[in-house]
Structure 1
Amino acid sequence: MLNRYVVWRRALLVVLIVAAALFLLRLHQANGAEQPAESVAAGHRLAEAWCMECHAIGPIITSVKKVPPDFAAVADRPSTTTLSLKVFLKTSHPTMPNIIIGPSEADDLANYIMSLKRDY
């Protein structure tokens, strides 16, 4: 009976260590680390499929104010962060189509939009 408890404790300890490592890895990526190229490319593909009917999705040269805004202008706003984009993408808005965006798709779109941020 004692051996079973030892095995369960060790298994629980391993699960906790793995969960903590995954959590810390996620925090590291949320800390401004460069986003993987695959995620940015996937976000670009999603933007082409879902967003380009209304938004300019790539970098543009003109500074004309547009409604809806182009993605480069969104990325350049001081208040725009990857997290704020993910929250925005998961919230319905009356002026946008009601597209159901999964967590990984929101990550990819947010990473793509943030990749358009210009350094001034």
Structure 2
Amino acid sequence: MILLAALPALAQRRALEQERLAYGRAVAENWCANCHLVGPQARGPAGDAAPPFAAIAAMPGTTAMALRAFLQTPHDRMPDYRLSQAELDGVVAYILGLQPR
């Protein structure tokens, strides 16, 4: 009986996570796709401008903390985007969602 009571909360949490992933992908497609391939089937820039998001996700040191630190620190080859907290949360969740399972 307790399990049945938890189902709506689990469904709501799952829906919120899917929403965050979709928002993160939209932010990435808007801000990051000029240099990165942001999705597994996405088209993007040719060449070695920046690593694909799937490659970033597959790196052993890719964690939420590492992504947040990287995205909030200016870099020579990366534009200095000022992501809102919601945008940052979404992009981090999206990249982590691309990690191989």
Task: Give TM-score, length-normalised by structure 1.
Answer: 0.63
| Structure 1 residue 79 corresponds to structure 2 residue 61 | yes
TM-aligned CA deviation for residue 103 of structure 1: 1.7
Q: Deviations over 1:59-82 (max 9, x none)?
A: 25xxxx944100000000000001
Structure 1 residue aligned with 2:20: 39
Q: Distance in 2 between matches of 1:102 and 1:83?
A: 16
| Structure 1 residue 103 corresponds to structure 2 residue 85 | yes
Task: State which structure, 1 or 2, has the greater radius of gyration over its C-alpha atoms.
Answer: 1
1:1-120 superposed matches below 5 A? 36-59=17-40, 66-119=48-101
Structure 1 residue aligned with 2:4: none
Q: How many residues align?
A: 82
What SS does the aligned partner of 2:66 have?
helix
- Which residue identity lines up with residue 115 of structure 1 in the other structure? G
Instruction: Could you list the structure 1 runs, at least 4 aligned residues long, displaced by more than 3 angstroms after superposition.
Output: none
Once superposed, what is the RMSD of the aligned Cα atoms?
Answer: 1.9
Task: Give TM-score, length-normalised by structure 2.
Answer: 0.74
Percentage of pairs with the same residue: 38
TM-aligned CA deviation for residue 105 of structure 1: 1.1
Stretches of structure 2 that go unaligned for 5 or more consecutive residues are 1-13, 42-46
Stretches of structure 1 that go unaligned for 5 or more consecutive residues are 1-33
What SS does the aligned partner of 2:26 have?
helix
TM-aligned CA deviation for residue 90 of structure 1: 0.9
